Chain A
């Protein structure tokens, strides 16, 4: 094995480890819903992903997520919150509120129709 091969091997393994850490294990930013008028509200920007994508809310209180899609790619045009039986079509540039009331604490996914963009609602 020559030096180039050793370097590529070490680099490759290190890169693989980094990919795994970056996508799966690194801590994520968490956004807590703002309570206003009995409604827990969060604005979510849809642009290559959901920002924020981890949202913490309280159980038993109504939640409103205001989605604004800032891209034209058809992939993100529908957001689905299947655990709450909600889905919404997001016209580009418009803010679309999605409301639901989480009853039980737990983690609930939301995602685009193809399940490529994902976010999570953590109910406490």
Chain B
């Protein structure tokens, strides 16, 4: 080991070491022996098994508690309504009292076992001067049980007709609420399915070369700098750079790119992608929590734990809700006791217990987080990373989408677009391209590279050139197979006295299309014109069409000349073009649009466009490959396709709609449920809510909210694909 730096805050150490001499075991021993620090496995944020196990255990506990309460509820229910049960009808009251003592004995374990959590939790909350659903259920069922016990023990102290037991309420309400919790837990597990799928992509093992031998090790032990072997069909374990061999790698799970990507020495590979055809070795550059996958998972988790501004109302309400409901229950009791019909005590008790049971604000509390969880996860499945709930809420109300041109609408690097040959037919298109590519092979200019790539793309064998010379401001020249080849602008042709043979017309037309044309000549004779241009990504036009069809205005923002910008704009069909904008003025242009009262989404790359992304209501960064954690952006599109702008806006709208449904549903549930439980319908319709119905309603409300959120799992982008 050469040196070490320790960051106490992060609990991390950065160690420089010689890979051939030290392995993880030695590093660990050295740290533990020399410093006394303990070394633990790096948090990969990818271990979800613990959560699933905890949930399974919890579900079993809840379900057993429900079963017990449900089994007890059957005889207790029957004996509570002796007039309706054959065999019990007409039994003398003293016999019934004995049976009811049996009910008391049966329901006590229901309270202690099935309802344990309500009492323990309620008590703990109370000591924190807070009240939650446990408090409410504990108060409701506890009051019903105590009243019943007193009523059958000393019936004499109660006014006539009020010494009735409510053991059925105790058993049924606890059974229903616990069942509701169990179902809710199951449904909640499904809301995080998307992130579990992502985590499931993480390979478990890696084959590395250490001390000259190949070893299979757990992926957690792969170190930066390790040489990793990947055979066909295997997963790439961590991020790195290919050193040896080549292959096609399926990166669809990370970048969404459907076609396998060719990898050669020097190319980056991403952990969790699948190696298809060849074997290769690569040097690990990012491991543990730094891999692209781990970063994606972290971003999604952070977003899922964030809050949408719309939740603020629910937060304020639920902060005061439970104590307020306790007060309502007390006052309802008083009102029925003072003004209600006989038997007043029974009415007062039923209504206040019903209120306590029905008033649980669980649904309200779950409304936003559950939908956010599913929506953000769903977006990630489509390669759209939404930073937080605020971004999601902002994205749904966007009416203007501003797009950077270079690298966003277009690929951002020139490609061969046209070849025009002289009318005399001196050379074919392939011949012109072959010669031009040969000349440019020695060039490092991006335009030259575009021509060489174009020739290779057509499968041409490009000959070698001699005497290559770059002529600044004019073009290039070289000798190819004995011919003096020139490639350059009008100035170069004039200087060398090359006639143009009517090629000027093609050059003017190509330039009008925003392309860069170059004359090609050999041995003083013109051959043709080759044009290169930054080309539009294949799906840009479709994405822009879809956005416009959805009523959004699409604006293109670029530093390029108006001519080039308008050529591209015509091709993809944007509403408005802002050309010749200096990089530092991009944010200003966004602000101007906002000043027109628009809600602006800015789409661009995360580096050059960072200020504009930050200025926009929603900054959408187009990422590529491993660069997923783009800080300035609200939304990151992993694939780099504009179609995902549509996906981002659609999923935001769908999620927000879902959240509004949930919030509306839970507000309605509570604002209708509580007055009905209080008995406001009784004077008009003689209708009173049984506490058992209240328990069923309460259980149903939270299950409904979570299930509604889960509907989002079936979401598909509408406008495209």
Nearest Cβ on chain A to B309's Cβ, whole angstroms: 10
Whether A91 contacts B58 in the complex (CB less than 8 A), given A24-B323, A116-B365, comes out as no
Whether A114 contacts B369 in the complex (CB less than 8 A), given A48-B134, A86-B305, comes out as yes
Whether A114 contacts B301 in the complex (CB less than 8 A), given A12-B330, A48-B134, A85-B388, comes out as no
Nearest Cβ on chain A to B350's Cβ, whole angstroms: 15
With CB as the reference atom, state the residue of chain B lying closest to A97. Answer: B11
Bound Cα distance A73, B365 (Å): 16
Provide a sorted-by-A list of 21 A–B residue pairs whose CB atoms are within 8 angstroms.
Answer: A9-B338, A19-B330, A20-B327, A23-B129, A24-B320, A38-B9, A47-B124, A48-B120, A48-B134, A49-B124, A49-B125, A50-B128, A62-B9, A64-B9, A80-B305, A87-B304, A91-B54, A114-B362, A114-B366, A115-B318, A118-B130
B188 beta carbon closer than 8 Å to chain A? yes
For A91, the chain B residues whose CB sits under 8 A away are: 50-51, 54
B306 to A87, Cβ gap below 8 A?
yes
Bound Cα distance A96, B19 (Å): 32
B307 to A53, Cβ gap below 8 A?
no
- Main SS of the interface on chain B? helix
Bound Cα distance A28, B337 (Å): 35
B121 to A48, Cβ gap below 8 A?
yes
Bound Cα distance A63, B77 (Å): 54
B243 beta carbon closer than 8 Å to chain A? no
B132 beta carbon closer than 8 Å to chain A? yes
Nearest Cβ on chain A to B139's Cβ, whole angstroms: 11
Whether A89 contacts B51 in the complex (CB less than 8 A), given A16-B327, A99-B9, comes out as yes
Which of B314, B323, B337, B338 is in CB contact (< 8 Å) with A19?
A: B323
B8 beta carbon closer than 8 Å to chain A? yes
For B78, the chain A residues whose CB sits under 8 A away are: none
B185 beta carbon closer than 8 Å to chain A? yes
For A13, the chain B residues whose CB sits under 8 A away are: 334
A28 to B129, Cβ gap below 8 A?
yes
For B338, the chain A residues whose CB sits under 8 A away are: 1, 5, 8-9
A95 beta carbon closer than 8 Å to chain B? no
Which of A15, A50, A53, A72 is in CB contact (< 8 Å) with B57?
A: A72
For A38, the chain B residues whose CB sits under 8 A away are: 9
A87 to B365, Cβ gap below 8 A?
no
Bound Cα distance A92, B11 (Å): 21
Interface residues of chain B, those whose CB is within 8 Å of chain A, are 8-9, 11, 50-51, 54-55, 57-58, 61, 117, 120-125, 127-134, 185, 188, 301-302, 304-307, 314-315, 318-320, 322-323, 326-327, 330-331, 333-334, 337-338, 348, 361-362, 365-366, 369, 388
Nearest Cβ on chain B to A25's Cβ, whole angstroms: 10
With CB as the reference atom, state the residue of chain B lying closest to A64. Answer: B9
A9 to B54, Cβ gap below 8 A?
no
With CB as the reference atom, state the residue of chain B lying closest to A99. Answer: B9
A22 to B129, Cβ gap below 8 A?
yes
Nearest Cβ on chain B to A7's Cβ, whole angstroms: 10
Bound Cα distance A85, B299 (Å): 11
With CB as the reference atom, state the residue of chain A lying closest to B372. Answer: A113
Interface positions, chain A 96-114, Cβ under 8 Å from B, are 97, 99, 109, 113-114
A85 to B334, Cβ gap below 8 A?
no
Bound Cα distance A22, B127 (Å): 10
For A53, the chain B residues whose CB sits under 8 A away are: 128, 130
